[in-house]
Amino acid sequence: MKISNSAHSYKSKRFFRVLLARKTVILCLIILAAMAFFAIFARFIAPYDPYKQDLNNTLQTISRDHLLGTDAMGRDTFSRIIYGTRISFSVGLASVLIAGTIGMVLGVTAGVVGGIVDTIIMRLMDAMMSIPLIVLAIFLGGILGKGLPNVMLAVGISAAPSFARLTRGQVLTLRESDYVTASTICGSSRFRTTVKHIIPNCISPNIVLMTMNLGGAILAEANLSFLGLGINPPLPSWGGMVADGNAFLRMIPVMAVAPGLFILLMVLCFNIVGDAVRDALDPRLRGSL
């Protein structure tokens, strides 16, 4: 389906108008932009090296030198939070991309090939979806082992079934649509139809679902890292930092409270923006996503 240029610009104008209609959404976008700025320019913003241990200054509470105190190894909590933004962003984006890619490949395959392949793939997705996301991520995380790429993979695979389901549904509707029928009648091969017509039309709803899953993916990583099944130390993961702080809760509560607050803030902003993107791009998806 080709959309003429003017229609396209109208569509994108409408998208931004609806997306930015609410002040909350704008605020969230600003916060996320600031966090992205932190992540990119962490080296210039963080007052200390996040990995540098300072055994003379361990377990400091809030002070002028250390805005959010230091941990058991004397590392500056504020600097570690700034660097942690990188971890959260990259895990969030990567796992959502992994989930979307796996889901789209499986969904398109199931929808286009059909038959027994469809049954097997979708039953498998049913099976995965019948396990709560956290349990699945913990299970896969436990099996794959710790470390940044493994966490991305564990969270990404766990979230993939909903993408597969969405894509398959999309493919089935598209296959029934007149223009796909028309292109088949005109002698276009199944492969060509899939590449030219079906896949491009599956992307937009998947992007919506990706945006909506970003917050959840970040939260899943935080959970894994809190349980000690996630990011390997000394990488500063917010979830892991809360776990570290938990041991010294009575002495310096800020060590556990501060990183958690950042998780909340980032996930909240992503969730609100995700909902807004869905409403702006395709309000019909409201029920199905």
Partner 1 sequence: MKNKLMQMILHRIGHSLIVLVLVTLLVFLVMQAVPGDPIKIFLGPSATQEQIDHYTKLFGYDKPVLVQYGRWVLNLFHGQMGRSVLMQREVSEFIFEKMAITLTVVLPAFVLAVIIGTTLGVIAALHRGKAVDSLVSTLANIGMATPLFWMGILLILLLTIKLGILPVQGYVPPWVNFGKSVQRLIMPVIICSLTPTAVFTRQTRSAMLEVIRQDYVRTARAKGVSRKDIILKHQLRNALIPIITVMGLQLGMMVGTTIIIESLFVIPGLGSTMITAIRSKDFMVVQNVVLVISVFIIFCNLIVDLLYGVIDPRIRDR
Number of residues that bind partner 1 (CB under 8 A): 41
Of 42, 198, 242, 277, the residue at the interface with partner 1 (CB under 8 A) is 242
CA angle 60, 61, 62 (to 5 degrees): 125
- Considering Cα of 221, then 227, then 233, then 237, what sign does the dihedral take? positive
Which residue number, 35 or 263, has a Cβ lying nearer to partner 1?
263
Q: Quick check: 247 binds partner 1 (CB under 8 A)?
A: no
Which of the stretches 42-50, 56-64, 75-83, 245-253 binds partner 1 when contact is defined by CB under 8 A? 245-253
Q: Quick check: 133 binds partner 1 (CB under 8 A)?
A: yes
Which residue is it, tokens 């097997």?
A: 120
Site residues for partner 1, window 138-167 (CB under 8 A)?
138-140, 142-143
**Tokens matching residue 269:** 């902003």
Of 245, 276, 278, 281, the residue at the interface with partner 1 (CB under 8 A) is 245
Side chain identity at residue 55, one-letter code: L
Q: Quick check: 268 binds partner 1 (CB under 8 A)?
A: yes
CB of 275 to partner 1, least distance (A): 9
What is the C-alpha radius of gyration for the chain, rounded to an integer number of angstroms? Answer: 22
Q: Quick check: 132 binds partner 1 (CB under 8 A)?
A: yes
Of 32, 35, 39, 256, the residue at the interface with partner 1 (CB under 8 A) is 256
Q: Quick check: 135 binds partner 1 (CB under 8 A)?
A: yes
> What are the backbone angles phi and psi of residue 76, rounded to the nearest 5°?
-75, 120
Q: Quick check: 27 binds partner 1 (CB under 8 A)?
A: no
Show Cβ contacts of residue 63 under 8 Å, excluding neighbours closer than 6 positions: 69
Omega into 259 within 30° of 0, i.e. cis?
no
Spatial contact of 216 and 134, defined as CB atoms under 8 Å apart: no
Of 117, 260, 282, 285, the residue at the interface with partner 1 (CB under 8 A) is 260
Cα 39 to chain centroid distance, Å, stands at 16
The stretches of the chain forming alpha helices (DSSP H) are 5-19, 23-40, 42-45, 77-113, 115-129, 133-144, 148-176, 178-185, 190-193, 199-226, 238-246, 254-281
Which residue is it, tokens 């395709």?
A: 282
Site track for partner 1 across 101-130, x = CB under 8 A: ----------------------xx-xxx-x
Spatial contact of 62 and 69, defined as CB atoms under 8 Å apart: yes
CB of 126 to partner 1, least distance (A): 5
Which residue number, 199 or 265, has a Cβ lying nearer to partner 1?
265
Which residue number, 65 or 126, has a Cβ lying nearer to partner 1?
126
**Tokens matching residue 144:** 């794959």
Q: Quick check: 226 binds partner 1 (CB under 8 A)?
A: yes
Q: Which residues form the interface with partner 1 (CB under 8 A)?
A: 123-124, 126-128, 130-135, 138-140, 142-143, 215, 219, 222-223, 226-227, 229, 239, 242-243, 245-246, 249-250, 253, 256-257, 260-261, 263-264, 267-268, 271-272
